[in-house]
Structure 1
Amino acid sequence: MIKEIRAKKILSNLKNPDPWFGIKYNMNLYRGCEHGCIYCDSRSQCYQIDNFDIIHVKINALELLKKELSSKREKGTVGTGSMSDPYIPIEKELRLTREALKVIASYYFPVHVITKSDLVVRDKDILQDINRIYGAVSFTITTCDDDLAKKIEPRAPSPSSRYRAMEILAEAGIYTGLTMMPILPFIEDDEENIRCIVEKAAAHGAKYIIPSFGMTLRDKQRAYYYKQLDRLFPELRRKYEVKYGNQYICSVNNAHKLIGKFKELCNRYNIKIVMDKYHGDNSEQLSLF
């Protein structure tokens, strides 16, 4: 279901650019998501989205974006994709993300797009324009197995499609890599999966991989995830309950070993584990480990 809404503002300011993604201004053009990922943290109660599967389109987003960018005294990276994927299927018709990127380009702001969709390739021309200042596209990939991805991310394009899109953008000179998160305990936390993700990333032009070896689980998000586990992996819910209880941060099994293997592979393929960010007045980078 699609609903139109009018937003009060479109950019949320971060006091300091976040150390993982370098984002200073966060932009969500849509509220809710069509991809149906079983693990999505945005289902949590704190985000106050009653039904995450209903898509709310912010019909005044472009008007607000122009007004807000024109008033910004500090240039910083505009990030999109943290709460709702900017390239959900309805974007193919509405083209709201494409038009927003045009606005951002016209004000000479840097951009970091995070997505699970190969639709981002459509906007390669605008991203190349933005990239004269700074433009990054991160594809979220947590498994190389298209069949497994179809279960846990049922309406998102396959990992294979995302890798192909990454290669196209990389060949166009756009800074691109992966957000390898979440890694689902008991489902994706094995060395073979990590090896496959890194090797395919290297083969398709990734310059960086931002990892998180685990997942979050809280309130409504946990309830939804466990319901999906009961349907898809009925033997796993009890393992989660025993191991994690009511924990919010749920680290994978053998995290230390997997992190070591991940770093070894990234070093072998010359892939960074901290992305280069828009410098502005601060060129400091922080280590994740």
Structure 2
Amino acid sequence: MKVKEIKAKTILRKHKKIDSWFLSRYGMNIYRGCIHNCAYCDGRSEKYNVSGDFGCEVQVKINAIEVLRRELDAEKKKMAAEKEFIMLGGGVGDSYQPIEEKYRFSRKALELLYEKDFPVSILTKSTLIERDLDVIKKINEKNKAIVSFSFSSACDKISSIFEPGVPSPSERLKTLKLFKKSGIPTGIFLMPVIPFITDKPEILNDTIDKAKKADVDFIIFSGMTLKKGRQKDYFFDVLKKNYPELIIDYSNIYKDNPWGNPAAEYHDYIQKIFSVISKRYKIPVRIPYYLFKDFLSENDLVVVILEQIDYMIKNLGGKSPYGFAAYSISKINKPLSSIKNDLRKIKGVGPATEKIILEILETKNSKYYEKLMAF
């Protein structure tokens, strides 16, 4: 492992719109690059400009906490009384990869977020997070903390091939149980599911069954992207060594889409399989309302609920106007409650969407949304 210490100008990233998958308005990468060396990692793509030998080198932002403190103070003034989730964990470096054991910057960041009164969403693959149970518990008691782990499956053998630098799925599940027993909300991001390997019904069923037994609050599913260049080349090298018979199948579904997405037919197929199995186990497939209802601005609450409605409708094979409406609302800088009489002027907002928005503004919820999310 090669470590390079660098100084960062910024740590906190404010998203243009709330990320309804992770509930975060803000994100941060304390480390750039990742020693976990997952074969499919999107962070390996040239798109993210991570220099060096990805998987073997990592850059440490040695002034991260100093910069973060300054940025949090500035954001706090802008946000006034609003509390917005900050996500610890990112696409170009796990915040709890092995280097964290030495530098402890993720722990220091959590201590600072507790001090500054922010709710936190954490995504990792590392059981090192157990070390910080005490401070995460304090954040959850004061505001809210959500601890999530990413999986490609619950199979230890497959994980050892594609996720060589991380604790096994069995170990990750034990850590999730520990946090849940400590009163902290937990979730699984089943992403990416690896085509023709971990997307088989029996493997998906095993993963979701183990998630249910770990008593997670939700499980969020996504397929695998392979962007042309370094990411795709590296993954294909691993595939050739372990599953050479699948090369042709992969070539058929990955046609160098600009975003690295597989063929739409394949995506729809695995989405349907996941939907059927997750319904059987009655696990929410989006972060549940009760975890975020008190921690979002009114506009962000509307955006998240509309996007979750959009996901559920499309998941059932229907067409939905709600995603576009949510996107339009995310660009509005004034509170929706101040323009209640002009909602129909927003692009994508028709009579049905207007009715839902007004209900959310009045009650902070939607009966239609509750119905869709019910099992």
Give the TM interval when normalised to the shorter protein: over 0.9
Using the aligned pairs only, state the percent identity: 34
What's the offset of the Cα at 1:242? 2.8
Structure 2: which 5+ runs fail to align? 316-375
Instruction: Give the partner amino acid of 2:134.
Output: D
Question: How big is each residue's C-alpha offset from its partner over 1:28-68, in whole Å with a ceiling of 9 and x where there is no partner?
Answer: 11000011100001111111112223111100000011110
TM-score, normalised to structure 2, is 0.73
What's the offset of the Cα at 1:111? 0.9
Which shows bigger deviation, 29-38 or 83-92? 83-92
Structure 1: which 5+ runs fail to align? none
In the alignment, is the contact (CA less than 8 A) between 2:226 and 2:254 conserved in 1?
no
Q: Which residue of the other structure, out of 56, 63, 85, is the alignment partner of 1:60?
A: 63
TM-score, normalised to structure 1, is 0.94
Instruction: Give the partner amino acid of 1:234.
Output: P
In the alignment, is the contact (CA less than 8 A) between 1:2 and 1:54 conserved in 2?
yes
Distance 1:257 1:47, change over 3 A: closer
Q: Which has the higher helix share?
A: 2
1:236-251 to 2 correspondences below 5 Å: 236-247=246-257, 248-250=260-262
C-alpha separation between the residues in 2 aligned to 1:205 and 1:41? 28
C-alpha separation between the residues in 2 aligned to 1:2 and 1:175? 33
Cross-structure match for 2:7: 6
In the alignment, is the contact (CA less than 8 A) between 2:24 and 2:121 conserved in 1?
yes
In the alignment, is the contact (CA less than 8 A) between 2:255 and 2:262 conserved in 1?
no
Pair 1:71-2:74 in alignment: yes
Distance 1:171 1:253, change over 3 A: farther
Larger Rg computed on CA atoms? 2
Distance 1:184 1:142, change over 3 A: same
What's the offset of the Cα at 1:254? 5.5
Q: Which residue of the other structure, out of 122, 128, 133, is the alignment partner of 1:113?
A: 122
C-alpha separation between the residues in 2 aligned to 1:33 and 1:127? 23
Pair 1:49-2:65 in alignment: no
Cross-structure match for 2:275: 263
What's the offset of the Cα at 1:145? 1.1
In the alignment, is the contact (CA less than 8 A) between 2:154 and 2:169 conserved in 1?
yes
Question: How big is each residue's C-alpha offset from its partner over 1:157-187, in whole Å with a ceiling of 9 and x where there is no partner?
Answer: 0000000000000011111010000111121
Pair 1:94-2:103 in alignment: yes
Question: How big is each residue's C-alpha offset from its partner over 1:56-105, in whole Å with a ceiling of 9 and x where there is no partner?
Answer: 11000000111101111223211122221111012122211111100011
C-alpha separation between the residues in 2 aligned to 1:263 and 1:245? 26
SS at match of 2:122: strand
SS at match of 2:262: strand
Q: How many residues align?
A: 289
Cross-structure match for 2:241: 231
In the alignment, is the contact (CA less than 8 A) between 2:24 and 2:85 conserved in 1?
yes
Cross-structure match for 2:342: none
RMSD: 1.7
SS at match of 1:38: coil
What's the offset of the Cα at 1:234? 2.0
Instruction: Give the partner amino acid of 2:285.
Output: I
Cross-structure match for 1:140: 150
Which shows bigger deviation, 235-244 or 99-108? 235-244
Cross-structure match for 2:211: 201
Instruction: Give the partner amino acid of 2:65.
Output: L
SS at match of 2:86: strand
SS at match of 2:160: helix
Q: Which has the higher contact order (CA 8 A, sep 6+)?
A: 1
Distance 1:254 1:46, change over 3 A: closer
